[in-house]
Each structure stands twice: as structure tokens, then as C-alpha cells.
Amino acid sequence: MIKSFLFSICLVAGLSVKAQSIDTLNAPAAALPGVYADPNITAFNKKFYIYPTTDGTVGWMSTYFTCWSSDNMVDWKNEGVILDLPKDLTWAKERAWAPAIAKKNNKYYFYYSADVNIGVAVSDKPTGPFKDSIGKPLIKRGSLRGQMIDPMVLVDDDGSAYMYWGQGQCHAVKLNDDMVSCDTAKIINFKPEGYNEGPFVIKRKGIYYLMWSEYDTRDPRYSIAYATSKSPLGPFTKVVNQPVLKGKGVVKGAGHHSVVNVPGTDKWFIAYHRFKIPGGDGYNRETCISPMYFDKEGRILPVNVFEKVKPIKIKK
């Protein structure tokens, strides 16, 4: 009897270990078909939207941006090209990277990297098309330390808007009310430990969470860390030994993310890219979405990259 009982325990334990092993070898399907990276996920007018980098070329030489929409965060529709650099810009033609979007003044402001400059375009609709706002970069290549890429904009509860960007160094500034200009003399520069690129900021229960990607996007160790502050411009204190997201098993190079809060709830989701499965690398990445949770103290719990997203509707 005792031997039979012990055998049963060993069998269950063995099956558990095997199940865990299988889990890490069978990741959920990508959210978007094909190769897309650096996704910016958001919610407008009871719909979710993703604005990604078009991937698949060595050196990341994409020349345009697309928009994707969804009523339930599971089924995504390609809304087409919303900004085509050669056609729509006079100052950059390639390297269309890492876009972001913000809404203010009943307008949609699209921030993006173009040939290692940061530009801004505007539209009356989240699906565009977007028009170059100022006819030149908002932040010019070489104007600050590091690369002028990876912008994101947080519109705070009082309507103030803050932009964060930079590879190699994190930069932040309060935008002017027009959303297409800023006082460059007031740019704050800092570099959290481990910071590489892709800053993203959310606000939850009065706390600002600055997240960023560590390592290089071509490195399988690419991952996301975070810091917190009581102010949108810091100072930020890094939360150590608790990464937001990192790859495991078949999931490699998981990083360069964005986060969306389902309006009217405390439900959060993180969009990010990983090496395409199978056969992907730092130039062939695919966009994924996973649930993101907080503990009772407000710390971000490590994201389970194997948890599937269930359909969810925006009610408010």
C-alpha cells in the first residue's frame, strides 16, 4: 500500500515536470500575422489598436507604418498603411521604427522614429492617415546622447503630456499643449541600471511605472525591467530582481513592449515582440500579447509568456 502510494506521488510529480517542460515548448500564437515588432497597444472608442514596426529586413529598413484594430484583443484587422515615409515626409525615407500614439484635443498624435530622428504626425482618426505636423523632426538625430528612437507619450490625468524616448540613454520632457513641440532646455536625461531602449510609462493608483528593454533586440536575453516614481519625470527607483517580462523555453528575445489598461477596469495587458517561432531572430520578430498583473503592494508580477489572452470587450 505504501509502495503504491509513493509510486503514485512520483508519477504525478513526473507528469507535472513533463507538463511544465511541454508548456515552455508550445507558446501561444502571435497576435498579428507575419513579422511585426515594437508594438504600441492602446484603446480608443471601445476598440483596441496596435501600431507596430514592420519587420523582416536586415538593419530594420522599413519605410512605412501600419495600424491594426480589434474589438476583443484577439481578432485583429489590418487597417492599412497610415504613414509612408517616402510619400509623406520630406526629411526621412527609411528606418520607420517603434511608433506610439496619444489622444488630446480630439486629435490623434502619432510619434515615431524615422532614420534615427523622432517625428510627429496628426490625424482626426486613430486609423489615420496621418500627416506630418511640423515638416521636420521633433527631436533631431544627434541632438542628445544616444539614439533618438523609441518615443512614447503619456497623457496624465490633468491633461499634461510627457514624452519618453532614447536608446543608450533615457530622455523625458513635458510636451507643449499643441503636442507637437517642447522646450528642449527642459529635457531630462538619465539612465537606469540596465537601460537600453524602448521606454514606456503607465500610471496606476498614483504611481508612475517606467519600463524599458534591457540587452539588445538581437539578443535572446532581451527583456523588460521597471522603476517607479511619484512624478512623471522621476526620479525613478528601479525594482531589482523582478523583471516584468523575459523569454523562456521557445520564447526568445521578448521585449520592446507597451501596456494597455482596459478602460473602466484594473485589467492590464502587455504587447511585445519575440523572435518569430520558428526560425526568427532580431530582424524577424512577431508581436504578442499577454495579461499583466500587479500584487497587493503594486509591484508588477513577472509576465507569463505562455498565458493565452481571452477575448475581452471594452464596456466603457
Judge whether 28 and 306 are in contact, CB under 8 Å. yes
Judge whether 73 and 43 are in contact, CB under 8 Å. no
CA distance 38 to 21: 28
Pairing type for strands 36-44 and 47-54 reads antiparallel
pLDDT (0 to 100) of residue 38 = 98
Q: Mean pLDDT of all residues in the chain?
A: 93
The 3-state secondary structure of the chain reads: CHHHHHHHHHHHHHHHHHHHHHHCCCCCCCCCCCCEEEEEEEEECCEEEEEEEECCCCCCCCCEEEEEEECCCCCCEEEEEEEEHHHHCCCCCCCEEEEEEEEECCEEEEEEEECCEEEEEEECCCCCCCEECCCCCCECCCCCCCECCCCEEEECCCCCEEEEECECCEEEEEECCCCCCECHHHCEEECCCCCCEEEEEEEECCEEEEEEEECCCCCCCCEEEEEEECCCCCCCEECCCCCCEECECCECCCEEEEEEECCCCCCEEEEEEEECCCCCECCEEEEEEEEECECCCCCECCCCCCCCCCCCCCCC
**pLDDT band for position 24 (cuts 50, 70, 90):** confident
Cell of 196: 537600453
Query: Could you count the other beta carbons within 10 Å of the beta carbon of residue 230?
Result: 11
Q: Measured between alpha carbons, how far apart are the two ends of the chain, in Å?
A: 59
pLDDT (0 to 100) of residue 23 = 63
Query: Could you count the other beta carbons within 10 Å of the beta carbon of residue 251?
Result: 20
Judge whether 92 and 113 are in contact, CB under 8 Å. no
Give mean pLDDT, residues 40-66.
Answer: 98
Homologous superfamily (CATH) of 2-292 is Glycosyl hydrolase domain; family 43 (2.115.10.20)
CA distance 289 to 124: 27
pLDDT (0 to 100) of residue 251 = 98
Judge whether 207 and 239 are in contact, CB under 8 Å. no
- Domain coordinates of the chain in residue numbers? 2-292
210 pLDDT above the threshold of 80: yes
pLDDT per position as a tens digit, 135-145:
999 999 999 99
Amino acid (one-letter) located at 220: P
**pLDDT band for position 1 (cuts 50, 70, 90):** very low
CA distance 156 to 104: 11
pLDDT (0 to 100) of residue 25 = 84
pLDDT per position as a tens digit, 161-193:
999 999 999 999 999 999 999 999 999 999 999
Give me the sheet containing 36-44, strands edge to edge: 36-44, 47-54, 64-70, 77-84
Give me the sheet containing 117-123, strands edge to edge: 96-104, 107-114, 117-123, 131-132
Cell of 119: 517625428
Give mean pLDDT, residues 17-43.
Answer: 82
